[in-house]
Amino acid sequence: MTAAAIKTGNSITSRNGFTLIELMIVMTIIGILVAIAVPNYQWALIRAREAVLQENLYGIRSAIDQYYADQGKYPDKLEDLSERKYLRGIPTDPFTRKNDTWITIPPPAEKPPENSGTNPQPVGAIPLPKGNVYDVQSGSDLVGSNGVPYKEW
């Protein structure tokens, strides 16, 4: 008699595989675990990209401030920061996955001094800040997990 022989009566039957029900139960459990894990993984990826965006914005803004402190003017373009070694290179926006989609904000125009009447200022005497890059924002149209668009970070 072989090991695969089926014994009759109350004895145990030997078998070589799984039943269809056992396979279906295992597949259902795996499906439930995947359904739980995938959304959590996607949220973790989004939070990681948001952290990278915050770090990149902080680094670029710090470099702009350092450039202004050293040069007395704002950079004309973002590439000036890397050309003058304030940055190793322009960082990549983690949501657009490009480094040329950053939105640059020009410096605000200075308000004219209050005219007291005793010291009239000529119309063209308002000094304008030099340079074109005062701030930088993400070029992504997406909205962050906090409800604020990435362009406003």
Q: pTM of this prediction?
A: 0.69
pLDDT tens-place values along the chain, 153 residues long: 554 555 555 556 666 788 999 999 999 999 999 999 888 899 999 999 999 999 999 999 999 999 999 999 999 999 999 999 999 999 999 999 999 999 999 998 766 556 555 555 555 555 556 889 999 999 999 999 999 999 999
Instruction: In whole angstroms, give the CA distance from residue 150 to residue 153.
Output: 5
CA distance 75 to 61: 11
Break the chain into its structural domains and give their ranges.
20-109+129-152
